């Protein structure tokens, strides 16, 4: 039985808990994830919605209508940290932003999407399955 995963934003106002096994761990190098993180990719740890709880604080949300389906991005209004994303079209899913986890020791993404817009100075190992865009839905 997996232990719970906990995490929170930079300022500590938003704290969450996820129980059970993660469904998937992935990276996304699309332009929206790069702007949303200010970085080179988003790290996403997906859980069934029922397994995820915001235990403290409130998130603000932004409806990110990109080229594909809507992604609702939840962030802390006090510090801006992206906490989780809810992509539509994948069922009842919450994707935690990996950088906000308290314990990243078992964070191992297995798939990366939108590698076509990845930064050339990021190198991903062959163990991470890399898609030019997103392949089939998980």
Partner 1 sequence: MSEHTGSCLCGAVKYELSGEPAFAGLCQCDHCQRQSGSAFLNLVIYPKAAITVTQGELGTYTAVSDMGRNVARQFCVACGSPLFIAPEKYPDICAVAGGTLDDRSLAVPSFSFWCDRQPDWLTLSEDMTFFPGYPEQLTL
Chain residues that interact with partner 1, rule: CB under 8 A: 8-11, 32, 34-43, 60, 62, 64, 73, 75-83, 97-100, 104, 107-109, 119-125, 127-128
Q: What's the CA gap between 86 and 67, in Å, rounded?
A: 16
Residue 35 CB, shortest distance to partner 1, in Å, is 4
Closest CB to partner 1 among 51 and 85?
Answer: 85
Residue 8 CB, shortest distance to partner 1, in Å, is 8
Radius of gyration of the chain (CA): 14
Q: Is the dihedral of CA 42, 47, 49, 52 positive or negative?
A: negative
Report the b/e string of 72-85 with b at 16+ CB within 10 A.
bbbbbeeeebbbbb
Closest CB to partner 1 among 57 and 77?
Answer: 77
Closest CB to partner 1 among 1 and 127?
Answer: 127
Residue 51 CB, shortest distance to partner 1, in Å, is 19
Residue 52 CB, shortest distance to partner 1, in Å, is 15
3-state secondary structure of 137: coil
Closest CB to partner 1 among 38 and 136?
Answer: 38
């Amino acid at each position: 039985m997996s232990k719970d995963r906990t995490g929170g934003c930079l300022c500590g106002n938003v704290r969450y808990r996820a129980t059970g096994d993660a469904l998937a761990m992935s990276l996304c190098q699309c332009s929206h994830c790069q702007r949303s993180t200010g970085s080179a990719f988003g790290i996403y740890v997906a859980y069934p919605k029922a397994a995820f709880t915001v235990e403290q604080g409130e998130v603000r949300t932004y409806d990110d209508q990109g080229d594909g389906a809507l992604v609702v991005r939840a962030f802390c209004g006090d510090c801006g940290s992206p906490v989780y994303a809810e992509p539509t079209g994948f069922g009842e899913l919450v994707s935690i932003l990996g950088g906000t986890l308290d314990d990243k020791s078992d964070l191992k993404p297995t798939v990366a999407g939108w590698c076509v817009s990845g930064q050339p100075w990021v190198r991903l190992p062959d163990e991470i399955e890399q898609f030019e865009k997103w392949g089939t839905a998980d």
